[in-house]
Amino acid sequence: MAPIKRSEYLKPLSREHHYSLLFGWKLRQGINHEVAVNRMIDYVRYFELGMLIPHFKEEETCLFIYSDSPFVQQALDEHRHILSIIQTMKAAPDRTVYADLIALADLVDRHVRFEERQLFPYLEQTLTEAELAAVAAAIQNGPAVGDDYEDHFWEHGG
């Protein structure tokens, strides 16, 4: 599949999405290396606080406010669902198993792909130039993009 052409206005959000896809990949790699679930839940906590919550807030307060489309409602519902699953894992880490981590990774992947392939193209077509420029101005100082988690469990397990 050819890369998606994203407007300059929304590129920062797409860059953040890249790290969400890496999040799922890292969880899958950890499972392949038979890493303890608790180590991966620590990473889930880190990623939730450092990337997911700030990214979701940024989308919800800077972009989604310009549309009441069913696509936007779906994205909002998915944000809440993802965070709810993470809360469940954090509340009962001893009951979390590999299948739960895979389900979370899959859900985040599907969500990112939905936003990139359906929601963002829709918003780029329906929002005015002024609205898109306002979004770009609001997100220019968004969450720091990157993942500097110290335990690289996905590289070798251990």
CA–CA separation, 134 and 114 (whole Å): 23
Q: What is the pLDDT of residues 51-86, one digit of tens each?
A: 999 999 999 999 999 999 999 999 999 999 999 999
Q: What is the pLDDT of residue 5?
A: 67
Domain spanning 11-143, CATH architecture: Up-down Bundle (1.20)
Q: What is the pLDDT of residue 61?
A: 95
Can you give 52-66 as a three-state secondary structure string?
A: HHHHHHHHHHHHHHH
**Which of 6, 23, 112, 22 has its CA nearest to residue 59?**
112
Mean per-residue pLDDT for 30-39?
Answer: 96
Kindly indicate the confidence band of residue 4, based on its pLDDT and cuts at 50, 70 and 90.
Answer: low
**DSSP state, residue 4:** P
- Domain extent listing, the chain: 11-143
What is the residue type of 87? Q
Q: What is the pLDDT of residues 86-141, one digit of tens each?
A: 999 999 999 999 999 999 999 999 999 999 999 999 999 999 999 999 999 999 87
Give residue 35's region: left, alpha or beta (phi > 0; psi -120 to 50).
beta
Tell me the pTM: 0.92
Contact in structure between 46 and 146 (CB atoms under 8 Å): no
For 39-74, b where at least 16 C-beta lie within 10 A, e where not — what string?
ebbbbbebbbebbbeebbebbeebbbebbeeebbee
Hey, what's the torsion of the CAs at 69, 74, 79, 81, to 10 degrees? Answer: 150
